[in-house]
């Protein structure tokens, strides 16, 4: 397991538009907002530096970067 969120818990499902938003003037990138439920479960807060990896099956692995 990668963090506090237990993958055996009920899956969390979100709409794309609730996670990703366009960046005005930038057609190659998007903003990604991590849902509050996940932030709270992981103990993350705004301003934390995050590490994002792509798993072997295309999953996103998000963790708080160590200081």
| Whether the model pTM is above 0.75 | no
Assign 7 a pLDDT band (cuts: 50, 70, 90).
low
Distance, CA of 5 to CA of 37 (rounded, Å): 10
Integer angstrom CA distances of residue 58 from 15, 44, 53, 55, 61: 18, 23, 9, 5, 9
The pLDDT of 56-65, averaged and rounded, is 89
Q: What are the chain's domains?
A: 16-64 (2.10.260)
Question: Each residue of 16-32: pLDDT tens digit?
Answer: 999 999 999 999 999 99
Token duo for residue 30: 């998007």
Pure H helices in the chain:
16-19, 36-42
């Amino acid at each position: 397991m990668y963090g506090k969120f237990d993958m055996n818990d009920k899956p969390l499902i979100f709409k794309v538009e609730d996670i990703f938003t366009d960046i005005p003037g930038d057609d190659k990138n998007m903003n990604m907002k991590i849902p509050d439920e996940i932030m709270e479960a992981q103990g993350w807060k705004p301003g934390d530096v995050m590490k994002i990896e792509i798993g072997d099956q295309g999953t996103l692995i998000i963790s708080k970067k160590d200081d």
